[in-house]
């Protein structure tokens, strides 16, 4: 039987690219997201291309009961859990912040990750094997102005990745994260700016990472021999050296 990977936020962006990467290597998939129609399109694409087994679960990761109800439908062991679902909303000084944006980021980026880890990890402990890979960010390594709550949620992902590893390593479970900088081929910027395409056009003057670049890093982590745990990959495009250091002199690598 093929190994099985569960990917949250798999309808677009890094989650979708990661689904394609694992499918190409023969993994069976359980894909979750809110957009059921989009998940079905992805499912059909991957089955047609690779002949693997793909299960889709449509729910809102911010709600624990929805997570529990969805996971209860899974009938096979999860070998790899990829906590990918996450978002940024707004770009405001702390004294001007939108509380609704704060709640959505905290509920998705932190609580959603916790809910899924709590639901999936007991089976891994029972089997004494498994791998949990969290999507962090350069925003979990260094803050930037007006990034306040988003950065806080990604600093939380970094801390949780280390803490989950400390709790599970004696059970033979690997825990890792990938922390990318700017990434295109995603809906990240459009979601952050409420689908304002002008504000979201932030990659016209430099080459960031692509979603596939990040997916390949995630697959690399998951495909190491069982005795190897790549704990963290921090990655940025060549034209980015930090959260506040981006060479915007043109797209040099197209």
Annotated catalytic residues are: 150
Q: Note the Cα 36 to chain centre separation in Å.
A: 18
Tell me the three state secondary structure of residue 248. coil
Distance separating alpha carbons of residues 65 and 155, to the nearest angstrom:
26
Residue with tokens 């790899």, as numbered in its chain: 80
Nearest to 80 by CA among 156, 204, 151, 178: 178
Q: Which residue has the tokens 């990661």?
A: 18
Cα–Cα dist 181/210, whole Å: 10
CA 80/CA 109 separation, integer angstroms:
19
The helix/strand/coil state of 22 is helix
Between CA 112 and CA 127, with CA 71 as vertex, the angle to 5 degrees is 100
Q: Structure tokens of 190?
A: 């459009």
Lookup: tokens for 246: 């981006």
């Amino acid at each position: 039987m093929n190994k099985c990977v569960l990917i949250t936020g798999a309808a677009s962006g890094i989650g979708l690219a990661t689904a394609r990467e694992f499918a190409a290597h023969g993994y069976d998939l359980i894909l979750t997201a809110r957009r059921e129609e989009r998940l079905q399109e992805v499912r059909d694409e991957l089955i047609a291309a690779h002949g693997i087994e793909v299960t889709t679960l449509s729910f809102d990761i911010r709600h624990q009961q929805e997570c529990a109800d969805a996971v209860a439908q899974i009938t096979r062991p999860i070998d790899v859990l990829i906590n990918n679902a996450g978002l940024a909303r707004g770009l405001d000084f702390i004294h001007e912040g939108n509380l609704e944006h704060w709640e959505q980021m905290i509920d998705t980026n932190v609580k959603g990750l916790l809910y899924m880890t709590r639901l999936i990890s007991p089976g891994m402990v029972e089997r004494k094997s498994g791998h949990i890979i969290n999507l962090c960010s350069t925003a979990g390594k260094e803050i930037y102005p007006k990034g306040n709550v988003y950065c806080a949620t990604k600093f939380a992902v970094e801390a949780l990745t280390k803490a989950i590893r400390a709790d599970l390593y004696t059970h033979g479970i690997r825990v890792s994260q990938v922390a990318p900088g700017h990434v295109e081929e995603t809906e990240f910027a459009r979601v952050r700016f409420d689908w304002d395409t002008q504000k979201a056009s932030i990659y016209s003057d430099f080459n960031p990472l692509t979603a596939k670049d990040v997916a390949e890093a995630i697959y690399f982590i998951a495909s190491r021999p069982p005795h190897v745990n790549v704990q963290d990959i921090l990655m940025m495009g060549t034209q980015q050296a930090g959260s506040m250091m981006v060479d915007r002199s043109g797209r040099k690598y197209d």
